[in-house]
């Protein structure tokens, strides 16, 4: 049973890696059809579809270690991606890696983000808790590459990961000026 949970966590990491490779360069404005062709070609099963009252449609993807967590072998860790389409075109996307709600690294991208910037949330002792990257849809610099350098080995890591370990480039992003 324990070895099965490790295999399942490894599978989740592989799928999460394929998702990140796909979503990082995916441009806002890409058609729903084109996006779904890319998702299928990457071997990622279609996510949960949600319909919003304003006519938007979202697809949510989740890659996690739920079985390790259920057996108390590791903290709950996963990567969640959300693609939101409006009028058949990608309007926004978010990708979040974290342990529960405590420690997360998140990338949000939409046309409404005029510049790319990173903010961090620290606890009372100054330790990093959350890394939040807002990407401009027009930013295809090294900043984007660094924003998507999630440490996917955290999914299934038996000891879990510290917030500073969730995103390998956190220091670079924190020190980079807004673009």
**Structure pTM?**
0.90
Q: Note whether 135 and 109 are within 8 A (CB).
A: yes
Residue with tokens 């849809």, as numbered in its chain: 137
- Per-residue pLDDT of 34-89, as tens digits, reads 999 999 999 998 778 888 888 899 999 999 988 888 888 888 899 999 999 999 99
Residue 29 domain boundaries: 2-175
Total count of domains within the chain:
1
List of residues 6+ apart from 139 with CB closer than 8 A: 115, 116, 179
113 phi and psi angles, rounded to 5 deg: -85, 105
CA 124 – CA 95 distance, rounded (Å): 26
Say which residue, 72 or 93, is predicted with more confidence. 93
């Amino acid at each position: 049973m324990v070895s099965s949970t490790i295999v399942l966590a490894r599978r989740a990491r592989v799928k999460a890696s394929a998702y990140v490779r796909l979503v990082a360069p995916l441009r806002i404005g890409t058609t729903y059809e084109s996006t779904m062709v890319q998702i299928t070609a990457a071997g990622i099963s279609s996510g949960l579809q949600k319909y919003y009252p304003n006519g938007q449609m979202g697809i949510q993807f989740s890659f996690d270690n739920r079985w390790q967590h259920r057996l108390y072998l590791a903290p709950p860790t996963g990567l969640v991606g959300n693609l939101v389409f409006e009028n058949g075109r990608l309007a926004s996307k978010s990708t979040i890696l974290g342990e529960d709600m405590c420690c997360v690294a998140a990338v949000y991208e939409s046309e409404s983000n005029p510049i790319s910037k990173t903010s961090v949330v620290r606890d009372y002792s100054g330790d990093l808790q959350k890394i939040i990257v807002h990407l401009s849809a027009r930013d295809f610099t090294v900043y984007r590459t660094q924003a998507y350098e999630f440490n996917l080995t955290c999914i299934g890591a038996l000891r879990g990961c510290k917030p500073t370990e969730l995103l390998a480039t956190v220091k670079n992003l924190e020190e980079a000026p807004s673009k």
